[in-house]
Structure 1
Amino acid sequence: MTRTPNAGTVMPLNHITHRFAELAATVRDTGLLHRSYGFYAGFGAALVLAMGGVITGIILLGDSWFQLLMAAALGIVLTQVAFLGHEASHRTVFKSGPANDRLGRVLSALIVGISHQWWMNKHSRHHANPNKVGSDPDIETDTISFVDEDAAKARGIVRWVTQRQGWLFFPLLTFEGLNLHYRSVVSLFAQGTRKQRWTELPLIAAHFALYLVPLFMFLPLGMAFAFIGVQMAVFGVYMGASFAPNHKGMGIVPADVKMDFLSKQVLTSRNISGGWAMSILTGGLNYQIEHHLFPNMARPHLVRTREIVREYCAQHDVPYTETTLIESYAIVIEYLNRVGLAARDPFDCPERVSMGR
C-alpha cells in the first residue's frame, strides 16, 4: 500500500540529493532513456486515422444533430494530439531539440489551436517547482484556489464558487478548453517575442479558419455553435481530468522551503494505477512521478521505470503515492472543498481551518 503525504502541509526536507544520481544512473544503464521512434510513429499514424475518421463522419452526417457525437469525438482526438504535443515539448519524441519544437508547434498551434511556446514556458516552470507557492503556475488562482491564502482573498461570485469549488471542479472544466485557447493567445501578445508571435499566431489563426469556416458553411448556425460547445467542453474536461490527479491534493511547498530534486518531484506527485490502458487514456500522465523525475523519457519506458523508482523509494523511505483514478478524483474534490473553507465568512467559521489530512 502506498503512502500519501498530507495535503496542504509543509513538505519535509530530504537530504538525499546525491542518491538521485544513483537512481538516474540505474535508469540510464537499463536503456530506458533511449528514444522510442516505433511507438511515436504508430501513435501518430493512429491519430491521423482517428482525425480522418472524425472528418469523414462530419461530412457523411451532414445536417444532423448526430454531429454532436462527432464533436465529442473531435474533442477526444484533439486531447490525444495535445498529449503528444506535451511530450514533444519535453523533447521525448526526437533526439533533436529543434525537431521536437517543430513537431510540438504543429501539433499544439496548428492542430489544437494553443500556443506551443506558452505551454512550454508554463509547464517548464511547473516541472521546476511542482506545488510550490509562488513558483508553480499550476497552483496560481484562476477561478479555483489551490491554497487557503488565495481562497481567503476571493470576493463576489468568485467567493461563492470558491466555497463550493470541489463540487464545481468538473463542471468548471467544461470551460477549460476556452480558457486554454484564450490564455495562450493573450500570453503571446503580452509576453511572446516578435519571432514567437509571427511563428505561432498564423498557425493558431489557420487552425480556427480550417475548423470554423467549414463548420459554419455546411451546418446550420445553431448546430455549428452547439458543435463548438460540445467539442470545447469535452476537450476541457478531458484535459483537466487527465492533469488534475497528478498533483492536486498532494502536499503544498511553502515559498521559503527548499527541497532536493528527488524529494520535491516524488512527494508532490501522484501516480494513477491502471497499466497500459490508463497510459493510453491519460497520455502517459498516469506515471507522473517517473515523468517528473525523467521528463524527456519516452512514454513506453515509463512503466518499467516505475518499478525501479518504487523499489528505490521503498529502500530510502521516500513516500511513493499511487491511487486509482476514482480515488484520485475523490482526493482532489475533498482537497479543493477544504481549501474553499477559507473563503467562508469568518463569523460563520470562527475556527481555524486545518489543511492536514
Structure 2
Amino acid sequence: MATPKFIAPANSFYSELKRRTNAYFEEIGTHPTGNYKLYTKAAVLLSSMVLLYTHLVFFTPPVWLALIECIVMGGVTAAIGFNVMHDGGHGSFSKKKWVNELAGLSLNMLGANIHMWTTKHNIIHHTYTNIDGVDDDLDARPFLRLCENQEHLKIHRYQHYYFWGAYSMLYIYWIFFTDYVKYFTQKVGDIPIKKMSTKEHLSFWGFKVLHFMLFVVLPIYTVGFLPWLIGFLVYGMFTGLVLSIVFQLAHTVEHAHFPMPAQPSNKIEDEWALHQLKTTANFATKNKIVSWLTGGLNFQIEHHLFPRISHVHYPEISKIIKEACAEFGVAYNEFPKTRTAILSHIAHLRQLALQPVLLQR
C-alpha cells in the first residue's frame, strides 16, 4: 500500500511537546544525547559480551555453566541492541556523528545490518507505527496475527499459547534470513530501501562473513559441531525472546490502536504525535533495573515522540509528556509492571485468535 499521510494542524500538539522539552534541556543546560551513564553502561555490556564469548569458545566450561552463560550472553546481546545500537542508530548516543555510527555498527557485529535496520525501524516503524501493510514490525505472518486487519488462519486460534516459540526464533531468523531478503529485494515489505553505496555493500558482506566466522566457524572448530549447535540455539533463542517481548509490549497490547488510512484520501485521522500516543504504550517505568537493561525502551512513548533524545533522559521527559497529555485530554497508555504488560499482550493475542467476524466494531 502507498504510505499514508497525517493531518497537519497549524497549532499541533507536537509543537507544544517540543517547546516544553526544548525548554527543559535549556533550563538544565544538558545536551539531549547520551552522557557518562550511557557510556559506562555501554562499556559494561560490551566487556561482558567479550568475556562471555571468550570463556565459552576458548575455555570450554562445564555443560551446565556453558548453558547458563549462553542464556546470559543472549540477554547481553539484546541489551547491547537496546542500549548501544539503538541509541547509536537514532543518532542519540553521542553529539559526535562518528561515535553514533560506531555504536550503530554494534548491530553488524552481532549479525544483523544497521542499514537495513535504519530503514525498517527509523523510517518506517517510527513514522507509520501500527499501520498494517506499512509497518513491517506487524508482519509476523503466517505464524502470528498481530492486528485485526490481518487475515485469520486456523493456526492463529492457538497463537496465545505458542507465541513464545515464535518469538524465540526472531534473532536467528533475522540474521540468517530476513536481512538477506531485504538486501536482495532492496525493500522492507513494499517500501524501497535507500540505494546502498559501495561502502554499505562492503559493510554488509564484510560483517556477515565476520559474524559467521566468529559465531559459527570458530566455535565449531574449538568445541565441536553439536556443542556449538546446542549453545548457539540456546543463545540465539533467548536473544530473540527478549528482543521480541520488549518490542511487542510497546505496541501490540490492549488499548493500542491499529488505524488504517481513510480512503480515497489515504490519510490518518490524527496528527503524527497523537498517532504515536494512540499506538504506543509504556511499561514498568518505575523499575530501574528494567529501564537499565532495556535501554529505556519501556519508555516507548517518549522514545517514539523524541527518538533523537537519548534514553537516559526519558524518566524526566516522561513527566513533561504526561503533564501535557493531561492538559490536552490525550490518553497516555502505561502498564505499571512488566508482567501486567505481558498479560495484556497475551490478552491481545487471545482476542485476535477469535474469528474476524467476532472482532468487528
> Which category describes the TM-score, using the shorter chain as reference length?
0.7 to 0.9
Show structure 2 runs of 5+ residues with no match: 1-6, 187-194, 263-267
1:61-76 matches, cutoff 5 A:
61-62=60-61, 64-76=63-75
Q: Who is 2:259 aligned against? A: 253
* Distance change in 2, residues 1:72/1:16 (3 Å): farther
Counterpart-to-counterpart distance in 2, 1:204 and 1:48: 19
> 5 Å matches for 1:1-357?
18-31=12-25, 34-58=32-56, 59-62=58-61, 64-83=63-82, 84-105=84-105, 107-110=106-109, 112-124=110-122, 125-142=124-141, 143-152=143-152, 154=153, 159-160=154-155, 162-181=156-175, 182-191=177-186, 193=196, 195=198, 196-249=200-253, 250-256=256-262, 257-273=268-284, 274-323=286-335, 324-342=337-355, 352-354=357-359
Which segment drifts farther, 41-50 or 189-198? 189-198
Gaps of 5+ in 1: 1-12, 344-351
Which segment is superposed worse, 248-257 or 237-246? Answer: 248-257
Mapped to 2, the partners of 1:294 and 1:87 lie a distance apart of 12
Cα pair 2:169 2:240 within 8 Å, conserved: yes
For 2:32 and 2:139, the matched residues in 1 are separated by 35
Instruction: Tell me how far 1:63 sits from its aligned partner.
Output: 5.9
Whole-angstrom CA distance in 1 between matches of 2:10 and 2:67: 52
Residues 148 and 359, structure 2, Cα contact 8 Å, conserved in 1:
no
TM superposition score normalised by structure 1: 0.85
Return the offset for 1:327. Answer: 1.3
CA shift, 1:330, in A, is 1.3
Q: Take 2:74 and 2:360, find their aligned partners in 1: how far apart are those partners? A: 36
**Displacement of 1:98 after TM fit?**
4.9
Q: Helix, strand or coil: the match of 1:30?
A: helix
Q: Please tell me the residue identity of whatever aligns with 1:251.
A: H
Q: 2:4 is matched with which residue? A: none
Shift of 1:131: 0.9
Contact 1:151 1:340 in 2 (8 A): no
User: Residues 188 and 197 of structure 1 are in contact (CA less than 8 Å); yes or no, is this contact kept in structure 2?
Assistant: no
Structure-2 separation of matches of 1:313 and 1:15: 17
* Identical residues among aligned pairs (%): 21
C-alpha distance in 2, partners of 1:198/1:16? 45
Residue-by-residue CA offset, 1:64-95 (whole Å, 9 max, x unaligned):
35311121121111111111211111110122
Contact 2:146/2:349 (<8 A) preserved: yes
> What one-letter code is carried by the residue in structure 1 that aligns with 2:138?
I
**1:52 and 1:132 mapped to 2: Cα distance?**
39
The answer to which of 244-253 and 184-193 deviates more is: 184-193
Deviation at 1:17, TM superposition (A): 5.0
* Secondary structure of the structure 2 residue equivalent to 1:29: helix
**1:5 alignment counterpart:** none
TM-score by length of 2: 0.84
Deviation of 1:15 after TM superposition, in Å, equals 6.2
Equivalent position SS for 2:126: helix
Amino acid at match of 2:226: G
Distance in 1 between the 2:117 and 2:160 partners? 25
Alignment partners' CA distance in 1, 2:91 and 2:161: 36
Aligned CA distance change for structure 1 residues 77 and 238 (closer, same or farther; 3 Å): same
In the TM superposition, structure 1's runs of 4+ consecutive aligned residues that sit over 3 Å from their partners are 13-17, 59-65, 96-99
Q: Give the drift of 1:298.
A: 1.0
